[in-house]
Amino acid sequence: MPLQYLDFDFSDEDSGRGTFDAMASVLPDRLPALLAELAQVLRWAFDAFGRPGPLDEGGEWDCEMQGLIEPGTPLAISYDERRGEVQLAPAPGGEARTTLTLTLSGSPAFCEAFRAEFEVDS
- Predicted confidence band of residue 16 (pLDDT cuts 50, 70, 90): confident
**The model's pTM:** 0.91
- Predicted confidence band of residue 99 (pLDDT cuts 50, 70, 90): very high
Q: Which of helix, strand or coil describes residue 92?
A: coil
pLDDT tens per residue across span 60-89: 999 999 999 988 889 999 999 999 999 998
Residue 121 has pLDDT above 80, yes or no: no
Distance from C-alpha of 113 to C-alpha of 78, rounded to nearest angstrom: 23
Q: Write down the mean pLDDT value for the chain.
A: 92
Domain boundary assignment for the chain:
9-118
pLDDT at 42: 97
End-to-end CA distance of the chain: 16
Q: What is the mean pLDDT of residues 15-24?
A: 92
- Predicted confidence band of residue 120 (pLDDT cuts 50, 70, 90): confident
Which DSSP string corresponds to 24-73?
EEE-GGGHHHHHHHHHHHHHHHHHHH-S---GGGT-SEEEEEEEEETTTE
pLDDT tens per residue across span 32-63: 999 999 999 999 999 999 999 999 899 999 99
